[in-house]
Chain A
Amino acid sequence: MRRPLSAALLLATACATPASPRAPPVAPPLPIARASSPSPDPRPEVNERPLLVRGGTVMTADGAIFRPGFVLVVEGRIAAVGAGEGEAPADATVIDARGKVVTPGLIDAHSHAGVYPWPSAEAHADGNEMTAPTTPHVRAEEGFWPQDAGLSRALSGGVTILQVLPGSANLVGGHSFVAHLVPGTSARELRLPGAPTGLKIACGENPKRVYGGRNTQPMTRMGNAASFRAAFQRAAEYERLRLRYARDLTAWRERAALREQGALPPPPDKPDDPPEPPPRDEGLETLAGVLRGEVLVQNHCYRADDMHQMLDLAHEFGFRIRAFHHALEAYKLRDRLAAEEVAIATWVDWWGFKMEALDAVPQNVALLTDANVRAILHSDSPREVRRLHHEAAKARAAGRRIGLDFSDDQLLRWITANPAWALGIDDQAGTLAPGKLGDLVLWSGDPFSVYTRAEQVFVNGVKRYDLRAPVRSDVELGWPKDEVTP
């Protein structure tokens, strides 16, 4: 299996902190370009009858494990969780979970589902806009093919939410979006309402290889950094113009109001026209959104020195990096990552496939968790996404080899609560708590055993996967099976 090109760039750019507006009540900012069309978010389908899952072990990823416990989902949201059997509302669908384990739906913080879909085909390579190293204006949502046969496979691994990212060929790859695994014929139907926009950026080898191969910048890590710095400098200037415009507009409105009240004389010579708005650029708007903290930076970055450099750059321009992805050397700067509150999304045992992956250790997640860094196990792969629970088990086993051990609740956090935070959706997903999404997995047993499979998966309280009768995508329907029966 060849790894999908996923990438990270170094980010850099720069400059001064965004101009701080003195002007009092600033006009509302121009809307940031969002990975959605102006039409309202679709209303997801939710369970019509209350769903009560009871009798099994309930792992909340929130500190509590109930043996036995119950989870009640009403109209797509968790209504109650606790020990014992729970109260079944009159018309409830009751699932008997005896001998089984219930967890929140898993969350994959790093996916290229839909933009590098199955079956892979040249015609479907829609994840890397490799025409310029900085493409903050493109959106994974607009390259996403909802018939990807990998989506049903992700569900089969208990995953109900994916962050779909552009690839890592570019320094700035474009908008990511958070996909909720409900059926749909458009990406918009899958986009999780309320999830913030993410921006994929990439450090290191991939961008410099792609563009250096064309004899264009970046060809080196130096070029990576310089390109980042230039991009964020432009964004800072763009933001300054926007703020100046907002200030001028406010002042003009104030003058106009005063004139209306007769408190200010009319302008003597020429009319006092409203200020001209600055030109709008979607890419710069996105980067300015990063500077304002509205867009979450998702940074593909492997090496410790690259991560240090990116954090320095973020300080230089006054923005935050929400998560480093892949980050195989994160254990080397775990204290700084904890202090700066950057999440780390990584693998357990992928390593050595390129130089920046040479110092990977299977103890990365253990070492990070030990230092209070939010550690995440991600897939970056339509195969691995099916087995995040196995990866968590392997990460624990690796930690034990160096004397670090973790609870089942902690293992679950690596694949639920922590990625929810990295995606900015921890208010609505990642743990079993009242008010959160009704995404549940019913496992055949201990989710951290190699022999365990997801048997049923619920999204918004609606069963979307059943081991006995998995639903497949359109692309898989109707292929003749030769003359043989299984």
Chain B
Amino acid sequence: MTPLTAICVAGACALVGARVEIGDGRVLERANVLVRDGRIVDVTTAAPPAGLPVLDVAGKTVTPGLFEASSNLGLVEVGAEKSSNDSVPGGALFTPAFRAADGFNASSLHVETAREEGVTAAIVRPDGGLLSGQGGLARLTGRAVDGPDPARPVALFGQVGAGAAEAAGGARGSVWLALRQLFDDARWYAANRAAVDRNAGRPLASSPLQLQALLPVLEGRLPLVLAADRASDLRAALAFAKEQKIRLAIEGGAEAWLLADELAAAKVAVIVAPSAQDPSSLDRMHARDDLAAVLHARGVLVVLTSSANELNLRRLRQEAGLAVAWGLPRDVALAAITGAPAKLYGLDGELGLVAKGRRADLVIWSGDPLEHATVAERVLIGGIERDTHTRQRELAEKYLRR
């Protein structure tokens, strides 16, 4: 394809005449999106003001840049090569002070590969143990400055269920015992810092630095995202969140439909990978393909992810399409990869919507963004068109010419 001439080069332009999917389920036909200083200043059907470079996108679809809710982006380059895999803290069950941001590589090839398919934002999270550490927001410009801010984590990530039980000593009860001990110690530490500083404390389940990092979770300022599939694990997680008075979200949730009402009542969102709803393990015997649709119908906030695949964020829109095939309303599916993840992490004032005041992270699509045949023709981040060429395309073109 001939490269398009970039119009939005300075963070200010008017996208004119597109079908605009807002990112919250609403759609505007033949609307104009006005961008200044890297932000959306208006979404209107009125004529754009003079002075803004005009990008005619009639017949195209404009959406918010797609938002991956859970990934190892920038932490893993070649998964099997230890030297380029920084996703697992290792060495301890609890590393709440571990910051994914510290290992983030903005120049990862996975960034451009995701961006080519319209992904402009991703939550970067660690893996492993029970509480792996803090995840943050990366915007996919390829610049370090747009990587996760270590001072502004968006959630603490962890896992329960069979894998975690094995890590904790073998039994699921060990997981919750260890978590309760840790949370109890964190509360005690918060109330007795001076004693700890005087070395007059009590034995603690983790270091003061780690316990300190748990306090935003205990205070309800930072959500805890727990990966789990089996209904019993999800119930235990709900009970734990209630008892500890913390904000919880679930990732995976293969059997979450069995407790959809409780999840909805507790306002617990579920991050679902539609392509992975299968009885692939004994934790998932009640998986069903229409999980996202069932949860949505029962009032649970559903967020979709590509994370069923080993670091392949470009599949995010395919996952959304699959959820639609299995009954999730089309506009809800689009929201589940734009506005909904932003909302889950408290970022919807900044990202995930084509709405006034939000950052101009936008994608111009040749058609329905969820269809395979559709191309992300232009990808804007901060109101600037970004390169959608990739190393992979360069390789393909090199051998095409030979």
Contacts and interface: CB of A to CB of B under 8 A. Distances in A.
Interface of A: 1-3, 118-121, 149-150, 153, 205, 331-332, 334, 349-355, 357-364, 366-367, 370, 382-383, 387, 390, 393-394, 396-397, 400-404, 448-453, 475-476, 479, 481-482, 484, 486
B395 A361 contact: yes
Interface in B279-312: 279-282, 284-286, 288, 294, 308-312
Given A119-B284, A367-B400, A450-B318, 12 more contacts: A118-B280, A119-B279, A120-B281, A121-B281, A352-B109, A361-B392, A361-B393, A361-B396, A382-B278, A393-B373, A482-B259, A486-B294
19 contacts: A119-B282, A121-B282, A351-B312, A352-B77, A352-B110, A355-B80, A360-B392, A363-B400, A397-B375, A401-B375, A403-B1, A448-B373, A450-B321, A451-B324, A451-B325, A451-B370, A451-B371, A481-B258, A482-B286
B1 A118 contact: no
Interface in B78-94: 78-81
Contacts of B79: 352-354
Contact of A150 (B278, B282, B308, B324): B278
Contacts of B325: 450-453
Contacts of B285: 119, 476, 479
A118 to B, nearest CB: 5
B322 interface: yes
Contacts of A396: 372-373
B397 interface: yes
A72 to B, nearest CB: 30
Nearest to A450: B321
B314 interface: yes
Contact of B372 (A153, A366, A448): A448
B324 A400 contact: no
A383 B319 CA distance: 12
B259 A149 contact: no
Contact of B280 (A120, A351, A479, A481): A120
Contact of B392 (A118, A332, A353, A362): A362
A401 to B, nearest CB: 6
Contact of B309 (A1, A360, A367, A484): A1
A431 B375 CA distance: 31
A149 B279 contact: yes
A436 B125 CA distance: 51
Secondary structure at chain A's binding surface: helix, strand, loop or mixed?
Answer: loop
Contacts of A404: 400
A390 B318 contact: yes
Given A448-B372, A450-B321, A453-B325, A354 B396 contact: no
B16 interface: no
Q: Interface range on chain B: under 10, 10 to 19, 20 to 34, or 35 or more?
A: 35 or more
B257 interface: yes
Interface of B: 1, 77-81, 109-110, 113, 231, 257-261, 275-276, 278-282, 284-286, 288, 294, 308-312, 314-315, 318, 321-322, 324-326, 370-375, 392-393, 395-397, 399-400
Nearest to B325: A451
B81 A355 contact: yes
Nearest to B324: A451
Contacts of B113: 351
A278 B309 CA distance: 51
B40 to A, nearest CB: 28
A397 to B, nearest CB: 5
B400 A482 contact: no
A449 B310 contact: no
A390 to B, nearest CB: 6
A296 to B, nearest CB: 27
B324 A450 contact: yes
A484 B318 contact: no
Contacts of A481: 258, 286
Given A119-B285, A354-B78, A484-B259, A401 B372 contact: no
Contacts of A334: 399
A401 B1 contact: yes
A400 B1 contact: yes
Contacts of A393: 372-373
A342 B110 CA distance: 31
A377 to B, nearest CB: 13
